[in-house]
Structure 1
């Protein structure tokens, strides 16, 4: 009896599931939209590196109800400027996509997924294709790397050649950011790189000695008269290191008690090769005291700053630690010092 009841329940559930499946698969009633893409693949063929490709995909509504484009999702390297969200029956809409080829070289294929309310085509994929060519190449590479010691200028250079052997001229170099000094010239016959015909130009980039400490990460644009490559992008990457590195750059005690001495340390690192750094004098305002500890002769020093016990409470102390060295470029190093005594 119990087995019979179980079988009846199972058969009932299967019947309900079957009806539900039929119901879910039942086509929608009434007028419906119908999406038809005039062209799902737009192939630009060979294009110059750095060129921005504008692709326009047309979508026709062959149905009897408005076609809604609910979402357009581009893949990496492609952006969708705009698209028609509603297309009336018998109408045609557009999806405008853009691909910036600056970061690409060789054949590329960028997909865009289009979501609609067409019951027969909930989503569709359109593709932008191209063969990105550097008609003017920067050799040995378009990336210039620097590891610069502050106060000492550094130079790197590239040679521009035409991959198709054509002639061209460099008109100028835009360097809107960064401290760079840029020069360019056409190479004489005896200076040219072998195995390359056509024009050859040298572009020299210099980081001057007065460049500020910090990271280098900038874009340069070489302007040419070549119709195939009017702009040639270059990237500058690297670091300008201080001659004497101070870490940390300030001494912050924070809130400290007055019943015991409290200390903080900074480290001086000599980045100049072949030079023996010496600390000649260290000064700091009262009530702070200092001590210099050599960590590596001529290269690394620790300067300890101490706030002695018994300092009056309720005071915020601000002063400057002054370190005199034998380095002619950084004779005096100043480090802010601050402490609040509870």
Structure 2
């Protein structure tokens, strides 16, 4: 009887001896940080149990590293520090990371530590691209980009340039600690034969750590000669000639002439050419020799209009 009682007491003593892991905090907020500097946080680990606590693994999520600074085995009542380092390079906005700590605490074998930050650029553009869509050839259109201060210091813009794009010009104004860049697109300065494009501008600042930023500028001119319809659809049985009407109109009312035609589909011809007028109607004719099938082709029209020397019309053909 006495022996069984001693064994039971020993078993209770063994069960009661166990490590207990605890942290002074499980979350750290870095607040606002810039992407050029790593940030570090410390978490204090304490063993509040009555057996040795062994930390066996520290598993950080992508974008941060973590390690135990002191001992990996901690006696009862002792503590050590775990340090997490976060690299914000290439990130922006709110970011949250986690670290999983694995130990021999029987009740809490894993603990999840978290950290968060708001990654801000020292100079923050409101947009990374400016779009000029269907700009009239005879007009000037404007867009703007705000460069906001992310570090509390005034943004100082030096200049903005877009090499090889004489139709773009830049100006800027200070608004508090921010700068607003104004981009002007002058359709009259676009070289003949160009109707759309993507330009790369460089905006320079006095900030030594962030002295320049790229700015994409995409543009498309409004057609000088408008077509109706914009796509011709042919759907019928094979073995017969098919035709569709195509109307063309010069936006400014100037007379023009179609000087040449070509099509990616052999045998297609355009009838009604030759007249010089601001509004014209021609017929696009498909040959009877076309076999059954689906065709997606392009019809090109050359004109003597200096603002629209070439027109392209999509042809969709279904013969079955």
Residue 170 of structure 1 and its aligned partner are, at CA, apart by 2.3
1:227 aligns with 2:112: no
1:253 aligns with 2:132: yes
- Residues 165 and 149 of structure 1: is their aligned pair in 2 closer, same or farther, counting only changes over 3 Å? farther
Q: TM-score, normalised by structure 1?
A: 0.51
Partner of 2:119: 240
For 2:179 and 2:37, the matched residues in 1 are separated by 23
For 1:255 and 1:217, the matched residues in 2 are separated by 42
Whether the 8 Å CA contact 1:318–1:338 is kept in 2: the answer is yes
1:144 aligns with 2:28: yes
1:331 aligns with 2:211: yes
Match of 2:64 among 172, 176, 180: 180
Residue 329 of structure 1 and its aligned partner are, at CA, apart by 1.8
Q: Deviations over 1:97-117 (max 9, x none)?
A: xxxxxxxxxxxxxxxxxxxxx
- Residues 199 and 169 of structure 1: is their aligned pair in 2 closer, same or farther, counting only changes over 3 Å? farther
Residue 266 of structure 1 and its aligned partner are, at CA, apart by 0.4
SS in 1 for 2:128: coil
In structure 2, runs of 5+ residues without a counterpart are 1-18, 223-320
- Residues 244 and 251 of structure 1: is their aligned pair in 2 closer, same or farther, counting only changes over 3 Å? same
Whether the 8 Å CA contact 2:22–2:47 is kept in 1: the answer is yes
Matches within 5 A, 1:20-59: none
Residue 270 of structure 1 and its aligned partner are, at CA, apart by 2.2
Residue 264 of structure 1 and its aligned partner are, at CA, apart by 0.8
- Residues 317 and 159 of structure 1: is their aligned pair in 2 closer, same or farther, counting only changes over 3 Å? same
CA RMSD in angstroms comes to 2.8
Residue 309 of structure 1 and its aligned partner are, at CA, apart by 4.4
Partner of 1:15: none
- Residues 166 and 318 of structure 1: is their aligned pair in 2 closer, same or farther, counting only changes over 3 Å? same
- Residues 226 and 209 of structure 1: is their aligned pair in 2 closer, same or farther, counting only changes over 3 Å? same
In structure 1, runs of 5+ residues without a counterpart are 1-133
Whether the 8 Å CA contact 1:318–1:337 is kept in 2: the answer is yes
SS in 1 for 2:145: strand
Partner of 1:310: 188
Partner of 1:206: 85
Residue 330 of structure 1 and its aligned partner are, at CA, apart by 1.6
Residue 261 of structure 1 and its aligned partner are, at CA, apart by 1.6
Partner of 1:3: none
Q: Deviations over 1:264-319 (max 9, x none)?
A: 1101122224x4432222112321111011112xx310000011243558711211
Whether the 8 Å CA contact 2:167–2:188 is kept in 1: the answer is no
Partner of 2:245: none
Whether the 8 Å CA contact 2:201–2:217 is kept in 1: the answer is yes
- Residues 156 and 211 of structure 1: is their aligned pair in 2 closer, same or farther, counting only changes over 3 Å? farther
Q: Deviations over 1:38-82 (max 9, x none)?
A: xxxxxxxxxxxxxxxxxxxxxxxxxxxxxxxxxxxxxxxxxxxxx
Whether the 8 Å CA contact 1:173–1:182 is kept in 2: the answer is yes
For 2:80 and 2:47, the matched residues in 1 are separated by 10
Residue 322 of structure 1 and its aligned partner are, at CA, apart by 0.8
1:300 aligns with 2:178: yes
1:216 aligns with 2:100: no
Q: TM-score, normalised by structure 2?
A: 0.55
**May I ask how many residue pairs the two structures share in their alignment?**
197
